[in-house]
Structure 1
Amino acid sequence: MNEQELYANDWLGLNWSEWLSLDPSDNEIPTISSDPGLYRVRHRYRDGLEYIGETGRSTRGRVDALARNVYSEEMPFRDPHTAAPCLWAVRDRYGSEFEVSTTTPRLAEDDQDRKGLEAALIAIARREMGQSPTANFGRIIDGYSQSSYRKDGYVGGPLEDGETELNAEPGRGPVPWENVDDVTASDWMGLEWSEPYRLADRLEPDLPDAGVYRIWLGGETPPLAYIGETSAFTGRLRRHEKTFGGEARFAVAMPKGMDAKHKRTEVETDLIGAHYLSHGQSPLAQFGNGNAIPQ
């Protein structure tokens, strides 16, 4: 399986379309399938990928919504497409030469598979690039303020000299990708995991302030039941006990750079993506799929 060539038409074993202009005026977006799918965006004069996304509706419609906002006169709001403000800023600074490529495999009709595959694509892109695609995880490039959601009414744009934007803070690099297959190992994905505890005993260990965690049920693993991130372990694990029961096991890890939510989410995505690639599925209850947990 081709994991390294991010622009290839068989990247990660998928059947990707040719690269099309994202500029609506070039009229290439109407050729995109209206089936559920995934898409990747690149800039012709920049290395790597700028964004990876998915939709359970029309791939053409989702890409069109992104394109219309990226090519708007002023920076768009974060809705209907959360990546649009960042890509608008990239266009403003580096030029308008964005391209998009899509894939609509049959499995994209299933939310769990499609979102798990998106996590795998982002995780592999992070591993190969050494950083996240520019517009994933709600970031903005340095030198720009980010628009709010429409209801809050703030329109972003270029900053004045000396001004800063909190959302431009760099992300965290990829995890080491060591011991990828053994999802309950103490060194899974090259991280240092705590010993496992029952969720019923969640108050016993000295938990870190922030980090990532994994939950699994009794019996054989994989799959895990859930992978998450938090800056408040006690409350989060209490809620998980209601879902998974007190006998479910959990372990936590606190790699460097867990001080901001977008950094924790980057690591969480690495873990979900690796789980999907190694075992062909997302953790059982990932992406709101709590009904998959045996009662």
Structure 2
Amino acid sequence: MFRRDFLLTTLAVSAPAAAFAQDINWRLSCDVLVVGAGGAGLAAAVRASELDAEVILIEQNVHLGGNTLISGGFLGVVDPIRQAPLGITDSEERHFQDIWNNGDKIADPTLVRKLVHEAPRMLSWLEAKSVKFQDEVIEIYGSHFPRCHKPIFPNGTAYVRALTGALMQRKVNVLTETKAIELVQDDNGRVIGIKATSKQDEFFIRARKGVILAAGGFGANLKTVAAFDPRLKGLPSNCSSGSTGDMLFAARRIGASVVDLNEIQCLPGPISNKGIRVR
């Protein structure tokens, strides 16, 4: 077992166990429930709504945006339209190798290839949402190749503004100051919703087709950061205060696994009804 797996398992013991569905009074229900309103959660909520799903998006902070809002805003994409005029020759395989090698070859290569292959479509989708990018692509620290796109607006504000506008246009139900505290399973172990808290009020939200966990990492959880790397003990964090890792630990505790990649809908098509399943 990797040390990371051991630590996740150990740290998850303090996280609440998953609730089960018997006799639950569901206050809200939807097709797709998205937890976390950073860049990933905002994009997931907008895309699910475009695919005709009824969506609820929850965010534990007052404002939307998470770490995306304060990020550098760079987006790595193989883009011949911008790269070729600058004399840059790029490819999906080169992009994959950059991520694979820079990540010490410990990532899931199938997921990395999925990311690289879908990145141009993601770029086009964002541009269709009125995110404006500069014509120049550059190399940033850690990328080792000039394929990083930078929006005209600073940091990650372009993404948050565009996706928040799309949420409002599509009338997606967004609940701020609402924190997920437990995953709810049915008798077969399928995740069908969450227990949430808002202003000391606890309630349940049911998801008929799936729960998307986009609550981010644990960069603001200094105790967990120190457990993974003792050299960082006592150092401050520049992450959003919502980066506590609570949902990572909750999913880890019940052994949640991701659905098959073929069921992840990036383009128009049916929403998978399997949601997040457990072993």
TM-score when scaled to structure 1? 0.22
Q: Answer 1 or 2: higher relative contact order, Cα 8 Å, separation at least 6.
A: 2
